[in-house]
Amino acid sequence: MSEINDFDQPGRPPEADPDDTEQNTAAVLPFKKRTAGGEPLAPGEVKPGEWQADLPDDTDTDDETAEVTEGAPVDPPRQVYPPSVAEWMAEHDKARQPVIPEWVKLPDQRKAVRKWAVRHYGTVIGYHAVRIPCIYTPKLLAYAPRGVWRWSTAAGHWVFDYEAKPLRAAAVAAEDAGEYLRLSAVRDDRVRLRGIIAGLVGVVGLIAALALWVMAPTWMLLLAIATLTTTLGVAGAPADRPLIDRAKVTFRKRKLSSDIITRAYAAAGLTGKDTGIAFPRPIGRDGDGWRVIVDLPYGKSFKDALAKRQSLASGIDIAATQLFLDPDLTSERRVSMWIADRDPLAVPAGKSPLLGATRVDFWQPFPWGVDERGNPVMATMLWLSFLVGAVPRQGKTFSARTIALAAALDPYVRLIVFDGKASPDWRKFALVAHRIGFGIVPRNGIDPVEHLVAALEELKGDVEDRYHRLSELPLHICPEGKLTPELSRDKKLNMPLTLVVIDEVQEYLQHPVYGQVILDLLVYLARVAPAVGVSVMLSTQKPDDTACPPKLRDQCQGRFSLRVGSWQVSDVVLGAGSYSEGLDASRLLKSHKGVGILKGMTDDAGIVRTYLADGRDAEAVLTRANALREAEGTLTGDAAGEKATVRSADAILDDVAMVLGKAETKVWSETIVDRLAVLNEAAYGDWAALEGRAKADQLAAALKPYGIATDQVWGKTEAGKGANRRGIERQHIIDAITQRNKNRAGK
């Protein structure tokens, strides 16, 4: 009887018994168990991915006659179904390489490869050209004598049949005279023939050398000497020291194996003793890195792997910035890893291709950057509002500006640009912007904050008007009730695509007087305006609830977060739940300038290394955009030198003060609205047309941002009369105006 070995595997057919089972011919020795990594297994431990058979309790060894009962296996062997034809074809489709590589088809990539080739080979050629006279030539001259010696020795050995010498020596040692004489005769014949050949070659060589010396032009003689010296120098060079230096450093590129990945998952605690990871697809190269698909043990999820990202990177022995984890829609336990050869985010994407563009169609996606693998990322601002957030100096302004530059190069896009920080970054947009303002401090008689409020109110009116007009247009012109490229470019309709850019928006939102008004207007525009071709792009270094309230952030479908301080802030910019999807902008490093995580612009979310357009580039583009707009007759508003005839947003305070008599301490709201309509029919006519309470509500809403209450307490002062009516105290208005004037003076 043979012992049952612990390593017997289920599913493996039983070995046929040897013919003579009675005879004890060999003892079965138990092997030491070993893990995949070669370590001996602890007792009871199982190799990952293997089943351990539950053997019947064999303690009753005294009972020699006990029979092993055969029954249905607890875990029947897994059935492996052959792939269907569709699966087989899909698998082969995936594996097929494109006939023409992608980089040949895409002009951007072609250009990049061309530039790289010129740069790379130019450097290599230059590197060697410098070294030819001062390093390579002296080395060749030094090695040439040894080359002469090596060649002549080799020629001598050949002529005198040196290779057969050991055979002759062996015949002598064996005292085999017959064999020795036979070998000597062969050698004599061979030496005679080879001597003649060598002599002829020598004579021809000498004649050729003399002919060259006497007849050849100097350049040919020099060339011949250089060739001979180089050949002799190469022949004489020591084998361990290269004659030519390397012009490039070879980067560390290790081959990844499943053992390394298994080690990493075990080190990160994602696999247990009895549970291993599986590799549904072979590990393969993907761009400048490796693509590894891993199935975690049952019960573990992508989130677990994400939480252990640092440990996984350490287990693979790479920097955390080289490891990218993506979820897989087919299974919660499947993790797709991309392991870059080196940190791809520290490599800038380079200059924006827009710098060379003469014009852009803003209805089409435009190049904004590249992803971590160098694939182009196209951006679009159609039908969405966009929020950019980051800590300072990471490239927030530059990345938003590249989008605004694309808009500037489409002469039919109206631009409204405000920069809360008044930095030089946006100044040149004055060449094209319909409305523009810098900072929050009034200069040259213009208050940029009031200008912003007026611009947003103007835009709000425009948006409402667009909705009315689009719904009135016949279906064949406006099929979905939405703006179309044709409609947006029809100057008579005056409904161009509009991009509102507000950099450092928190400066405006925290403004003591207009902050609330601006917030309300932006919430309205971000929510309602994209459908009629008006997009809002906001950027902020303070995305928190006070500086940029959630009611505004939540309206932004598109989000872009460059480096932030923590994953919580990253979630604030990118939207709640982004971290659990693997999107965490706090992982980005300080050196990752212009790099961020994009979400919501398209179906895909991921890393974008934005293209660079510096101040000078931006100026060149905007000068071109200005000329383009002038030629197309689309230069409007501030850029066209138009004086904005806008009422300041807080004009309501002055108007109310004006309609209150000096002796009146308190006046009913309805009365004030009626008087306002008389004062300025265009501004307040609609209010006066409202019925009863609606009139008072309208006034209350307009005065609320300035802290003026139109309260019911008022009603109680005149016993019983109009207790539920509302009104205004004159003193409140005076206080608000005083405060407003103080704020203005303090700016």
Ligand X SMILES: Nc1ncnc2c1ncn2[C@@H]1O[C@H](COP(=O)(O)OP(=O)(O)OP(=O)(O)O)[C@@H](O)[C@H]1O
Residue 607: which H helix or E strand, with range? strand 606-610
Least distance (Å) between residue 391 CB and ligand X: 7
Distance between CA atoms of residues 88 and 80, nearest Å: 15
Return all residues near 170 (Cβ < 8 A) that are at least 6 apart. Answer: none
392 labelled binding-site residue: yes
Query: How many residues form the binding site for ligand X (CB under 6 A)?
Result: 14
393 is in an annotated binding site: yes
How far is 59 from 476, CA to CA, in rounded Å? 88
Report how far Cα 452 is from the mean position of its chain's Cα atoms: 33
Q: With CB under 6 A as the contact rule, which of the stretches 176-184, 395-403, 573-581, 626-634 interacts with ligand X? A: 395-403
Q: Which two tokens stand for residue 288?
A: 């400048």
Out of 145, 392, 461, 479, the only residue in the binding site for ligand X (CB under 6 A) is 392
φ, ψ for residue 698 (rounded to 5)? Answer: -60, -45
Stretch that binds ligand X, among 389-397, 444-452, 596-604, 664-672 (CB under 6 A): 389-397
Distance CA 6, CA 4 (A): 7
**Does residue 594 interact with ligand X by CB under 6 A?**
yes
Tokens of 707: 């802290």
Tell whether residue 570 is a contact of ligand X (CB under 6 A): no
Work out whether 270 is an interface residue with ligand X (CB under 6 A): no
390 is in an annotated binding site: yes
- CA-CA-CA-CA dihedral for 108, 110, 111, 113, to nearest 10: 120
User: For residue 22, what are its two tokens?
Assistant: 């009675």
For residue 552, the SS3 value is helix
C-beta closer to ligand X: residue 265 or 560: 560
Residue 528 has φ and ψ, to the nearest 5°, of -100, -35
Are the C-beta atoms of 608 and 377 separated by less than 8 Å? yes
How far apart are CB 423 and ligand X at their closest, in Å? 6
In the complex, the smallest distance separating the C-beta of residue 436 from ligand X, rounded to whole angstroms, is 18
Please, what sign has the CA dihedral across residues 107, 110, 112, 118? negative
- The answer to whether 387 contacts ligand X (rule: CB under 6 A) is no
> Among 396, 434, 451, 460, which residue sits at the site for ligand X (rule: CB under 6 A)?
396
- In the complex, minimum distance from the CB of residue 594 to ligand X, in angstroms, rounded to a whole number: 2
Whether residue 657 is annotated as binding a ligand: the answer is no
By CB under 6 A, which span of 53-61, 388-396, 409-417, 514-522 interacts with ligand X?
388-396
Residue 398 engages ligand X in binding (rule: CB under 6 A): yes
Q: Please tell me whether residue 395 binds ligand X under the rule CB under 6 A.
A: yes
52 is in an annotated binding site: no
CA distance 351 to 16: 72
Residue 390 binds ligand X, judged by CB under 6 A: yes
Residue 364 annotated as lining a ligand binding site: no
Closest to ligand X by CB, 108 vs 486, is 108
The reply on whether position 593 binds ligand X by CB under 6 A is yes
From 37-45, 214-222, 392-400, 574-582, span contacting ligand X (CB under 6 A): 392-400
Residue 394 is a binding residue for ligand X (CB under 6 A): yes
Asked if 404 interacts with ligand X (CB under 6 A), we say no
d(CA 421, CA 440): 8
Any known ligand binding at 394? yes
Handedness of CA 345, 347, 348, 349 (dihedral sign): negative
For residues 416 to 455, the per-residue mask of contacts with ligand X, x marking binding by CB under 6 A and - elsewhere, is: ----------------------------------------
d(CA 716, CA 725): 10
Q: Is 395 annotated as a binding residue?
A: yes
Q: Is 442 left (phi over 0), alpha (psi -120 to 50) or beta?
A: beta
**Residues marked as binding for ATP?**
390-397
Residues near ligand X (CB under 6 A): 348, 390, 392-398, 541, 593-594, 610, 612
**Residues marked as binding?**
390-397
